[in-house]
Amino acid sequence: MINHQILLSKPIIDKHEEKAVLSVLRSGQLVQGPQVKKLEIKFSKLVGAKYALAVNNGTSALHTALQAVGIGLNDEVITTPFTFVATANSILMTGAKPVFVDIDPLTFNLDPNKIEAKINKSTKAILVVDLYGQPASYLEIIKLAKKHNLLVIADAAQSIGSSYKSNPTGCIADITTFSLYATKNITSIEGGMVTTKNRNYYKIAKLFRHHGQDEEKRYFYSGLGFNYRLTDLQAAIALTQLNRLKKITLKRQQNAHFYNRQLVNIKGIITPYQAPKTVHVYHQYTLRITEEAGFTRDQLQHYLAKKGVQTNIYYPMPLYRFSYLSTKTNLKDFPNTELASRQVLSIPVHPLLTKTERQFIVKMIKSYAQAS
Ligand SMILES: Cc1ncc(COP(=O)(O)O)c(C=O)c1O
């Protein structure tokens, strides 16, 4: 038996982060110093993009990216409704309009086959999300974007370390954003990154991060900008975490593969689908509880909570259902999103999960399913 709560996420913070933070504190250079620069160089190498810009969270990374590629008033940006709200809010921030398209029922990512019907003269970009750590259908989406002269922006907040046909997430889309929030695969507590191969996008993004000022020419403003800077303290933590990325990712994948093997052939429980030629980094391990199960997703979640297993629903309410984000939604256009929001349940997959904890979670799910 387990006599403690099994958490859904747990950051790995140890003496390496403590040492890195102390060293920055003692250096006296707390902002826009060498750590931020070091992080940007290391990150750009990791994802194979020429430029990486550190910002203070994943939401400001999205806002910065949209601004950098020139999204603005009256533009339309096609995106998924099955994501964290920051994806769509950042589109609104620029004055543009999010246009939602249904998801693929297997990957939970934007369905490339349903995008074309929503493209019109105002459409400027497709904003994909690599949900749960699985890359979007980049090949099909980039093809479509080329055909209609659209930009592809990637919200890779959940997918650091993943890849699509051997290309790391971060160098595939025109511009990509990451989150380094405390629950993400690696963290700087709060933080974000923007990556691109395009020098012009990078230059605009850099100005936007710092009130529209050139670092060499303070108090002269080239355009709209904000304070989206990351501190050196946070950059030092992120640098330490980056050293562990491979190990952390492998552990998440091993946990996921264990669940895949153990939870196979349970009526009404569907384990995650992994698309061919993608590397999934399992930010979340998300089950689908179908009508065949004989119990609901919410009942299973309640049962696991009673047994001390923390789970969560990403996401219970599709974004088109919030009136400030969308009007005149026809629910018939979103059968897969509607179903997914009722069926998904994410269980702990983080790298600190012990063998005993994994086995306990499987045992609890199996015994609940058998008794139902
Ligand atoms: C898909 C997605 N986009 C954007 C964000 C926003 O990132 P942050 O919380 O760092 O602002 C998150 C993280 O919560 C996310 O999961």
Contact 57, 192 (CB under 8 A): yes
Say what percent of the chain tops pLDDT 90: 96
Whose C-alpha lies nearest to ligand 1, atom 14? 84
What strands lie across the sheet with 269-270, from one edge to the other?
Answer: 269-270, 285-289, 344-347
**Could you tell me the two tokens for 281?**
């980094």
Whose C-alpha lies nearest to ligand 1, atom 7? 58
Atom of ligand 1 nearest to the CA of 190: 10
Which are the contacts of 26, defined by CB distance < 8 A and separation ≥ 6?
none
Query: For residue 39, what are the CA distances in angstroms to 153, 180, 186, 292?
Result: 22, 12, 13, 48
Dist. CA 27 → ligand 1 center (Å): 31
**Could you tell me the two tokens for 60?**
């400001």
Q: Which residue is catalytic, options 184, 197, 206, 251?
A: 184
Burial string for 223-246 (b: 16+ CB within 10 Å, else e) reads eebbebbbbbbbbbbbbbbbebee
End position of a domain, from candidates 196, 213, 239: 239
Domains of the chain: total? 2
Which pTM does this prediction carry? 0.98
Distance separating alpha carbons of residues 290 and 325, to the nearest angstrom: 28
Query: For residue 326, what are the CA distances in angstroms to 85, 315, 370?
Result: 12, 17, 41
Class of residue 76 by CB neighbours under 10 A (exposed 0-12, middle 13-18, buried 19+): buried
Q: What's the gap between Cα 328 and its chain centre? A: 27
Residue 52 pLDDT: 98
Dist. CA 59 → ligand 1 center (Å): 6
Q: Is 90 in the pocket of ligand 1 (CB under 6 A)?
A: no
Nearest alpha carbon to residue 318 among 83, 157, 133: 83
Nearest alpha carbon to residue 44 among 199, 214, 252: 199
End position of a domain, from candidates 239, 271, 301: 239
Domain-located, residue 5: no
Domain-located, residue 335: yes
Atom of ligand 1 nearest to the CA of 283: 16
Residue 86 pLDDT: 98
CATH number at residue 269: 3.90.1150.10
CATH number at residue 167: 3.40.640.10
Burial string for 206-220 (b: 16+ CB within 10 Å, else e) reads bbbbbbebeeeeeee
Query: 350 and 329 in one domain?
Result: yes
Mutate to test the pocket of ligand 1, among 82, 84, 129, 312 (most ligand atoms within 8 A of CB): 84
Dist. CA 15 → ligand 1 center (Å): 27
244 or 1, which is more confident = 244
Dist. CA 157 → ligand 1 center (Å): 5
Please state, as a whole number, how many other Cβ atoms lie within 10 Å of the Cβ of residue 333.
Answer: 16
Query: 231 and 263 in one domain?
Result: no
**Among this protein's residues, is 184 annotated catalytic?**
yes
Which are the contacts of 64, defined by CB distance < 8 A and separation ≥ 6?
53, 55, 177, 194, 205, 208, 209, 228
Query: 93 and 187 in one domain?
Result: yes
Q: Can you point out the beta strands (E) in 116-240?
A: 123-129, 151-155, 163-164, 167-168, 175-179, 192-196, 213-214, 217-221
Atom of ligand 1 nearest to the CA of 180: 10
Query: 190 and 85 in one domain?
Result: yes
Residue 294 pLDDT: 95
Domain-located, residue 20: yes
Domain-located, residue 106: yes
Dist. CA 84 → ligand 1 center (Å): 6
Contact 88, 82 (CB under 8 A): no
Query: 164 and 57 in one domain?
Result: yes
**Residues linked to residue 51 through DSSP beta bridges, in sequence order:** 196
Domain-located, residue 174: yes
Q: What is the pLDDT of residues 77-101, one digit of tens each?
A: 999 999 999 999 999 999 999 999 9
Quote the domain boundaries for residue 298: 245-371
Query: 336 and 288 in one domain?
Result: yes
Lowest-confidence pick of 1-5, 298-302, 351-355? 1-5
Dist. CA 127 → ligand 1 center (Å): 14
Query: 255 and 229 in one domain?
Result: no
Q: What is the pLDDT of residues 234-287, one digit of tens each?
A: 999 999 999 999 999 999 999 999 999 999 999 999 999 999 999 999 999 999
Query: 184 and 71 in one domain?
Result: yes
Query: 24 and 86 in one domain?
Result: yes
Query: 184 and 52 in one domain?
Result: yes
Residue 357 pLDDT: 98
Q: What is the pLDDT of residues 105-116, one digit of tens each?
A: 999 999 999 999
Query: 319 and 220 in one domain?
Result: no
Mean pLDDT over 110-125 rounds to: 98
Helices (H), the chain: 15-27, 34-47, 58-68, 85-93, 138-147, 199-209, 232-262, 297-306, 335-343, 355-371
Domain-located, residue 9: no
Mutate to test the pocket of ligand 1, among 132, 153, 181 (most ligand atoms within 8 A of CB): 181
End position of a domain, from candidates 211, 239, 267: 239
Average pLDDT, the chain: 97
Contact 172, 143 (CB under 8 A): no
Q: Is 9 in the pocket of ligand 1 (CB under 6 A)?
A: no
Nearest alpha carbon to residue 173 among 195, 147, 158: 195
Query: 135 and 30 in one domain?
Result: yes
Whose C-alpha lies nearest to ligand 1, atom 4? 86
Domain-located, residue 21: yes
Q: Is 83 in the pocket of ligand 1 (CB under 6 A)?
A: yes
Whose C-alpha lies nearest to ligand 1, atom 10? 58
Domain-located, residue 367: yes
